Amino acid sequence: MTQPQPTPACPVSHAEQPVVRSGPLPIYGGSFTADPHATYRQLRAQGPIVPVEISPDVYGYLAVSYRAAVYLLRNTPTRFAKDPAHWEALRRGQVPADSPARAMMQPRDNALWKDGPQHTRLRRAITTSLARVNTHALAATVAQIAHQLISAFSEAGTADLVAQYSEPLPMRTVIDMFGCSQELGGRIVGALTRLFDAGADAAQANAEVEAACLELTSLKRRHPGRDVTTHLIAAGLTDAEMIQTILLVIGAAAPPTSNHIGNALRRILTDPRLAGTVHDGVRPVADALDEVLWDNPPVPNYSPLYAIGHQTFDGVFLESGYPILVSFAAANGDPDLVVATPGGRTGNRGHLAFSAGVHACPAPDLARIIAETAIECLLDRIPTIELAVAEHDLRNRPGTFLAGLTALPVRF
């Protein structure tokens, strides 16, 4: 079993959708990274949920319409399970050990990959721990870190806002929330970013981040503090659960928020509708952040699901045993999605950037506080900032699971 086949069990309905011409389209590689929305348009023309190649020789489905995405997420776990034990190719040993998709989709002892009571218990540990974060103190911490980073390049007149600002700021913030040293936290976030990039070293990155998360767990068991790690331990999680829960929460908080900040800064610097109005305070930074969550969410494709028995959606047959990814980016850009507000999606939070259903992001407000505070601090300190290269010279990171820029050169 290697890929969904165009047979009577075809994931593309013969009656209503065209058959894939030469096998499932890849959602990885240079062409996809350069223009993922071109691939989403091709896929959307085939149906709301279509077969894709997730990484080399790893096959599944991708939900590319808003209705399909919401249907999948709202029917988890009644019709669609999260547990990768349902992944038939993985059970049969057909997914290479060094596959980037395997590193991102393999079974883990955390809430994202569990169903039923196990999911409820592990998610409750996360939500109760994050609920103890003081949001006013969090904003103050972000501002303090932001001003330290800005001061380091403010006299130079130039900067790379990815390497010098959007990457380190969420990392240092989340490290502080978890009561972690800069050195250990840097290892965790660095390995997580490589894991999300889904490159050739994904398996090695996974091993590194798991080792670092165990190190943090052991440290906090010996020396508890007033931090998220200690709160998770107090919730009764085992070492195995702690490793994967720290990986999950930091992975959901740091690399995606870094990319969200970078993508929003790009939008503010290049979109004439936002460039002046955000700088002078006519429109809030939150407007730019919401637009980016619609158009270029930092996690474009994820949330693997597995059909419980054979399922159909809008005439599309979904064969069990294959992972079904949700494309938050494609769903948000679905042309059939009607947004009632004139002009669009500014201030509209109906997007799926934070997922939906029982596995939705447990603390989107914390992510918003980090991103808004970071951008506001930068624009307050350096209001004359502008892009230092042509926009078409900006390059994207590998974009299967994480969407962001490799660099954002500016001058001021």
For the chain, which domains are there?
A: 25-411 (1.10.630.10)
Q: Tell me which amino acid residue 362 is.
A: P
CA angle 373, 375, 381 (to 5 degrees): 100
Residue with tokens 């890929």: 3
Q: How confident is the model at residue 12 (pLDDT cuts 50, 70, 90)?
A: very low
pLDDT in tens, 107-141: 999 999 999 999 999 999 999 999 999 999 999 99
Which residues face 301 on adjacent strands? 327
Q: What is the pLDDT of residue 21?
A: 43
Q: For residue 271, what pLDDT is reported? A: 86
The 10 Å CB-count burial string (b at 16+, else e) for 344-356 is ebbeeeebbbbbb
Give the residues across from 316 on adjacent strands: 313
Q: Would the pTM count as exceeding 0.85?
A: yes
Tokens 């006013």 map to which residue? 136
Q: How confident is the model at residue 14 (pLDDT cuts 50, 70, 90)?
A: very low
High-pLDDT (> 70) share of the chain, %: 90
Measured CA to CA, the distance from residue 62 to residue 44 in angstroms comes to 10
Q: Which residues pair with 26 in a beta bridge?
A: 53
Of residues 228, 109, 141, 126, the one with CA closest to residue 180: 228
| Residue whose tokens read 């050195």 | 183
Q: Are 245 and 237 in contact (CB under 8 A)?
A: yes
- Whole-number Å distance between alpha carbons of 136 and 321: 45
For residues 50 and 61, the answer to whether their CB atoms sit within 8 Å is: yes
Top-confidence residue, 337 or 231:
231
Q: Which phi and psi (to 5°) does residue 148 adopt?
A: -65, -45
Higher-confidence residue of 111 and 15: namely 111
- Asked if residues 406 and 396 have their Cβ atoms less than 8 Å apart, the reply is yes
159 bridge partner residues: 410
**Which residues lie below 8 Å from residue 204, measured CB to CB, with a gap of 6+?**
none
Read off the pLDDT of residues 35-91 as tens digits, 9 standing for 90 and up: 999 999 999 999 999 999 999 999 999 999 999 999 999 999 999 999 999 999 999
Q: Is 140 helix (H, G, I), strand (E, B) or coil?
A: helix
